[in-house]
Structure 1
Amino acid sequence: MRYNLFGQGNDVVLLISRILLATLFVLFGWAKITGFSGTVGYMEHVGAPVPMLSAIIAVVMELVVGILIVVGFYTRPLAVLLALYTIATALVGHHFWNETGMEQMENMINFYKNVSIAGGLLALAVTGPGKFSIDRK
């Protein structure tokens, strides 16, 4: 038997979870698209492959997929895809193992935040979006 901690509130908790998980992506995706030339420059700075294409992928993944997660559209596969993207960005953008001092600590924190966010996205992929979603309509 499955334990239901929140009773009927599980769907509300899943909605809140989707909003909380996607907020970071939507905010930063919006910043990336509105400052696109700066995004391309950042991609060059961190050594992302094909900076222009990397910037486009970042905007799509963060802004578009983030919004789709919030509304609960193709939630399970997109949560897995966004988790993989989040791990990839941790590896490309937060390579703390090559740094020292405060820079190392800041990038280590951001690396493991990405890992934790990916874990939340994978949990969402397993549980599904709940009834307050396009997927459930």
Structure 2
Amino acid sequence: MARPIDSGIIFFARLALAVLFLWGGVMKLLAYSGFVGYLHSKGVPFPEIGAGIATAIELIGGIFLVVGFLIRPLGIIMAAYTVITAVLGHDFWNVVDAAVQRDMVIHFWKNIGIAGGFLLLCVTGAGALSIDAARTPKRRLL
């Protein structure tokens, strides 16, 4: 049985992750053509489609994190997305400038850490302060 404080901590963790992705999704939406250009410069195939998918994942995923909806499957999707963005967007192994490479290494490993947080949410679930908890049938004692 979970302690009452656990749901508050899980809620805070969801919000902390959501802020990052909601902000990123909004920025991508506001500068959409620039984001498509960035993906093109990174050699991403079909950058127009990739930009739409990335923006949707960040915005919808961020909203689902805030309200606690479908958190277990969302955790897997967001973990995979975050690892993919680490590999495509923070490819430090292709950078020759030492200062830029150092920054890319930091961002790469931050993304991997964030993916770990999403995997933890996949295991813990959304907590009591969520739509998922409200949708779960309550056990009745006989």
Task: State the TM-score, normalized to the length of structure 1.
Answer: 0.93
1:1-137 equivalence runs, <5 A: 7-100=3-96, 101-137=98-134
Return the alpha-carbon distance in structure 2 between the equivalents of residues 49 and 78 of structure 1. 24
Q: Which amino acid aligns with 2:111?
A: N
Instruction: Indicate the RMSD between aligned Cα atoms, in angstroms.
Output: 1.2
Partners of 2:72 and 2:18 in 1: CA distance:
14
Q: Which runs of 5+ in 2 are unaligned?
A: 135-142
Letter in 1 for 2:110: K
Between structure 1 and structure 2, the one with the greater Rg is 2
Displacement after TM superposition at 1:32 (Å): 0.5
* 4+ runs deviating over 4 angstroms: none
Amino acid across the alignment from 2:109: Y
Query: How far apart in 1 are the matches of 2:42 and 2:89?
Result: 6
The separation in 2 between residues aligned to 1:98 and 1:31, in whole angstroms, is 26
**CA offset at residue 66 of structure 1?**
1.4
- Please, what TM-score do these two structures have when normalized by structure 2? 0.89
Cα displacement string for residues 72-111 of structure 1 (whole angstroms, at most 9, x for unaligned residues): 1111001110100000011111110121301111110000
The alignment of Structure 1 onto Structure 2 pairs a total of residues equal to: 133
Aligned partners of 1:69 and 1:79 also within 8 Å: no
Percent identical residues? 43
